[in-house]
Amino acid sequence: MPAEFDFIDWLRRRQKPSALVQLPAGDDLAVVNWPAANLLLVGVDQVLDGVHFDSAVHSPRAIGRKVMNRNLSDCAAMACLPAAAVVAAGLPLGCSIDYAKELYLGMEEAGGQFGCEIIGGDTGSWPGKLALSVTILGRSAGIAPITRSGAKAGDQIYLTGKLGGSILGRHMTFRPRIDQARAIASRFTVTAMIDLSDGLSRDLAHICGQSHLAAHLESAKIPIHEDAIELFKRDGIPPLDHALNDGEDHELLFTSPNEIPADLATRIGIMAEGSAITLDNHPLPPRGWQHQL
């Protein structure tokens, strides 16, 4: 009968030799030779069946890609490079080895695009639904980590890409903006940055709250994704509302005193003294996606 350990053997055989990883998955812990002069960044992000994906609809490959890409997007938000990842998977009883391998291949595929290898994991089956979490290790690699708390009054607010309607499919297929984050942060002063997972109105509130500042947006400047327009045709909610409040765009929102070229990011507003968030001088409440406990 196929069992957990066969899967772990399979994982172990997929490990590639690496300068960073002294001892890969397969022991109690993996051993990493952390590169000197690099800050270590660490965080965890999970996907849960029925919340972040629907196992009846989405393929295990796509689910695996999504959980890894969410973590890679956190690296983008700090302008660091992903170094390695570990995975915890709670697999429904009766889940096949092939399904588990597809989850892993999805994670491997997403991580592989940025040289991020899976170096450890814990898989178990249970009388529950699929729960998958990835912990990512990032390294600063010459760029000081960019937090949410460093914005200054007078900084411009910028955004990569276009927003809204990710539920039509992009929430499963987005590409983490690591290359853009590194390119922008190496050429310009970036004072605060976040990736848009909960929606612009809510994620901007994080920058404002942690930087103790207000923010003023101009609606005409906000780039609206064609998916937001498509969604408007179905639900009647204006495309701008989708752009402001839909979650899981995974674009970068950042502040800078510099003028950033339009091919890198779009200027959508300005940081100011105070604590209000406004759109065209009217209050903009945070309406993005929030898990209710």
Q: Which of residues 195-214 bind a second copy (CB under 8 A)?
A: 195, 210
Q: How far is the CB of 214 from a second copy (least distance, A)?
A: 19
Q: How far is the CB of 91 from a second copy (least distance, A)?
A: 6
Handedness of CA 62, 248, 239, 269 (dihedral sign): negative
**Nearer to a second copy by C-beta: 52 or 182?**
52
Distance CA 250, CA 200 (A): 10
Q: How far is the CB of 212 from a second copy (least distance, A)?
A: 14
167 binds a second copy (CB under 8 A): no
Contact 181, 79 (CB under 8 A): yes
> Which residue from 14, 18, 39, 189 is in contact with a second copy, where contact means CB under 8 A?
39
Handedness of CA 277, 278, 279, 282 (dihedral sign): positive
Stretch binding a second copy (CB under 8 A), from 33-41, 151-159, 169-177, 268-276: 33-41
The residue behind tokens 């179905």 is 234
**Nearer to a second copy by C-beta: 203 or 227?**
203
Q: Which of residues 130-149 bind a second copy (CB under 8 A)?
A: 131, 133, 135-138, 140, 145, 147-149
Distance CA 207, CA 204 (A): 5
Stretch binding a second copy (CB under 8 A), from 172-180, 225-233, 258-266, 285-293: 285-293
Which runs of E-coded beta strand occur in 63-170?
A: 81-92, 117-126, 131-139, 156-159
Amino acid identity of 199? G
Q: How far is the CB of 31 from a second copy (least distance, A)?
A: 5
φ and ψ at residue 255, rounded to 5 degrees: -120, 145
274 binds a second copy (CB under 8 A): no
Q: How far is the CB of 38 from a second copy (least distance, A)?
A: 7
Distance of CA 279 to the CA centre of its chain: 25
Contact 81, 139 (CB under 8 A): yes
277 binds a second copy (CB under 8 A): no
The residue behind tokens 């300005």 is 270
Q: How far is the CB of 103 from a second copy (least distance, A)?
A: 12
